[in-house]
Structure 1
Amino acid sequence: MTSANELPAQLGYRWPAEWEPQASVWVSWPRNVESWPGKFEPVPGEFAQLVRAMAQFQRVNINAGRPEVMAQAESLVGNVPNVFLHDIPTNDAWCRDHGPTFLTSDRDLPPALVDWQYNAWGGKYPPFDFDNEVPGKIAKIQGRHVFTPGIILEGGAIDGNGRGTLLTTRSCLLNENRNPHLDQAATEQYLRDYLGVQKILWMTGGEIEGDDTDGHIDQLARFVDARTVVVSVCEDESDENYGPTQQNLAELQAMTDQDDRPLEIVRLPLPRPLFVDDQRLPAGYCNFVFVNGGVVVPQFGDPADARAIAILQELLPHHRVIGSPSLDLVWGLGSFHCLSQQEPLTKLPLPK
């Protein structure tokens, strides 16, 4: 069922935090060789390692439409427990951005999702017609209620604490290549109406080098509990990422949550610069993914890999924090969080 007039927040839906219990995580099998130019061959294998890592904790649903894609997915992960393949075609693998935003409710409401419009980060990488259809196809499979705001929004552009606070960047959400007809106030109203949030925290958008999303928040900073935010920080003053990440840190240190309490800010290191030819890669540890009882962190063969895992493990003592390789995947200019979209359990009470 599609809804054009009803607003999720008015009905009692909300957007839960990623560490709340999940029914599954959705991913889209990598198939677009142009996303990993000259280096696609190892990508499906590394993606399969991510799938296996997540499947240790919970169900993993994979969009694997088209016979050749389905065949490869079946050969690499078809026999892995908790993995389920679906005949949903995609243009690319970035399910965080083309997938739906799943909602939950503290009331007796039917399962629902938000089907935003998608234009491949401001029209940068056409075609994206199959990707834009993914939320509707998932809703049809699951019999979900569908809310259609009619505006462009990628999942990697927003991060929330499940209590009413949302973190995002001006450089992305207010970019003219998304919704040129919307100003900040109008954009905020959509976020309140469709995600049930009350407070929107706007970072300027200090992008890390190599990012092609105009400053997705999941490359920069992430909530790990209701008040704690980890932020990617470069400490090398000679590095191009030093200025932008220090700016992000300063902005976050001045922010408060929905109850006007200061946020707890924890620094995550960045790995040493990684390049393919002359292209710097947006490698960072904020692109981790939450699963039930676990966190999977991208690894780049860098000394900071272990530091990032240790920092997150200390912050999340009730989760098992593990690493999985991402040296090949990040050549596509994204990593684990960009590739995944969590599906929460429904009808859960608000966490205490």
Structure 2
Amino acid sequence: MKHLNASPTPLELGFRMPAEWTEHAATWTSWPADDELWFGALEGVRTEFAQLVRTISQFEAVHLLVRDEESERDARARLEGVRVTLHRVPLDDVWFRDNGPLFVTRPRESGPDEVSFVNWEFNAWGGKYHYRRDTLAPEALAGYLGAAHWDQGVVMEGGSLELNGEGVALTTRSCLLSPERNPGLTKDGIAALLRDFLGIEKLLWLDEGLEGDHTDGHIDTITRFVGPHTLVTSVEEDTRDANHATMQANLERLRTFTDLQGRPFEIVELPLPRRRLEGPEGRLPPTYANFYIGNGFVVVPTYLDPNDERALDILRPLFPGREVIGLPSREIIRGGGSFHCVTQQQPIGSIWKGDDLDES
């Protein structure tokens, strides 16, 4: 397989990252394995993971990374009869949205799109946890897929970016500008990289994310595109809660944003869970915005909270033609994220081998 660095860039070859709601060939995820990382709750986490994988597999193919023999044995037992492909890949943790690759596609005049990906660096959100094995995972995928791809020596996490599929992306300053990720890399430098490697033409910045979010404010926990011109954003209705002012500031800023044609976005407010959840390291960041969009479905995390059904009722009309499914994530949130954080979509298309580069 071909490994590319900076030239030619994906953009120069016509590749761009598509929106999540475009058709998938498969979903990639990883099996939870470390009881210590899950603060002794691994059994409950695996139960919720199995339900998530079973649900996704009813709609599209699932590729599951398992880090060792015990993980593989456990996954096979819990997923008996499920359409899933297992891959033995050494891993530190399960947050494949962030340590996995970001796929890009290129349209062809005839036939399916071509699919490649960018392999960014991953450093566990500024070196907070072990990550040396996690950052190698995209190469394992490249070997399985036989994909030519780009290796980019910049830290970039999938959860830090939210794309509308038409050249616009959202992110947060607190995350992408944190000095523990890419010291010295400016807003303009980040925007240029995302343009060249993902085809993002307009990068819009919110300030912060949720209290207790160890990712430093990933956008996929607060604000999500549900269509090219519509987004949902989390709001905290309790004025005494620390998230209230932050989410309100984000809402006001979102109202000033426009797409590439200068049109404002339609904004739908999505409540946060009503009950505060605490973990061993402090406040947890439960949110309904961490949903995952797939072929004919959307899986939404729920928390045995009074706002669970209310959030589902808000989201269902926003996804016509897709079944909006609430699944429990009260155990998974102990690790700091939920369904979007642990999944990565592979767009439908033929895997790009880079053969056309031999002709240039």
Alignment of 1:167-316 (within 5 A): 167-205=170-208, 207-272=209-274, 273-276=276-279, 279-316=282-319
Distance of 1:238 and 1:170 partners within structure 2:
24
Go from structure 1 to structure 2 and tell me whether the alpha carbon gap of 1:78 and 1:101 turns closer, same or farther (over 3 Å shift). farther
Alpha carbons 2:39, 2:280 under 8 Å: kept: no
Alpha carbons 1:110, 1:144 under 8 Å: kept: no
Question: Structure 1 residue 241: deviation in Å?
Answer: 1.1
Other-structure match for 1:77: 79
Go from structure 1 to structure 2 and tell me whether the alpha carbon gap of 1:321 and 1:267 turns closer, same or farther (over 3 Å shift). same
Question: Structure 1 residue 204: deviation in Å?
Answer: 1.2
Q: Which amino acid aligns with 2:201?
A: Q
Distance of 1:87 and 1:137 partners within structure 2:
9
Q: Which of 102, 105, 129 is 1:125 aligned to?
A: 129
Question: Structure 1 residue 224: deviation in Å?
Answer: 0.4
Distance of 1:185 and 1:277 partners within structure 2:
38
Q: Which amino acid aligns with 1:253?
A: R
Alpha carbons 2:115, 2:348 under 8 Å: kept: no
- Quick one: percent identity of the two aligned structures? 45
Distance of 1:117 and 1:277 partners within structure 2:
28
Other-structure match for 2:157: 154
1:275-312 deviation per Cα after TM superposition (whole angstroms, max 9, x unaligned): 23572210000000011011000010012111111111
Residues 243-252 or 30-39, more deviating: 30-39
Alpha carbons 1:149, 1:190 under 8 Å: kept: no
Distance of 1:258 and 1:92 partners within structure 2:
37
Q: Which of 61, 64, 77 is 1:62 aligned to?
A: 64
Go from structure 1 to structure 2 and tell me whether the alpha carbon gap of 1:277 and 1:150 turns closer, same or farther (over 3 Å shift). closer
Distance of 2:259 and 2:114 partners within structure 1:
29
SS state of the match for residue 253, structure 2? helix
Distance of 1:110 and 1:225 partners within structure 2:
23
Superposition misfits of 4+ residues, deviation over 3 angstroms: none
Residues 100-109 or 247-256, more deviating: 100-109
Alpha carbons 2:291, 2:340 under 8 Å: kept: yes
TM-score (norm 1): 0.95
Distance of 1:314 and 1:110 partners within structure 2:
32
Question: Structure 1 residue 79: deviation in Å?
Answer: 2.3
Distance of 1:277 and 1:102 partners within structure 2:
35
Distance of 1:118 and 1:74 partners within structure 2:
28
How many residues get paired?
Answer: 345
Other-structure match for 1:113: 117
Q: Gaps (5+ residues) in structure 1?
A: none
Question: Structure 1 residue 131: deviation in Å?
Answer: 0.5
Q: Which amino acid aligns with 2:10?
A: P
1:36-74 deviation per Cα after TM superposition (whole angstroms, max 9, x unaligned): 113222111111111111111111110113111111111
Other-structure match for 1:100: 101
Q: Which amino acid aligns with 1:286?
A: A
Alpha carbons 2:107, 2:114 under 8 Å: kept: no
Other-structure match for 2:347: 344
1:96-130 deviation per Cα after TM superposition (whole angstroms, max 9, x unaligned): 0001001111137753110000000000002x111
Other-structure match for 2:14: 12
Q: Gaps (5+ residues) in structure 2?
A: 352-360
Question: Structure 1 residue 78: deviation in Å?
Answer: 4.0
Alpha carbons 1:104, 1:347 under 8 Å: kept: no
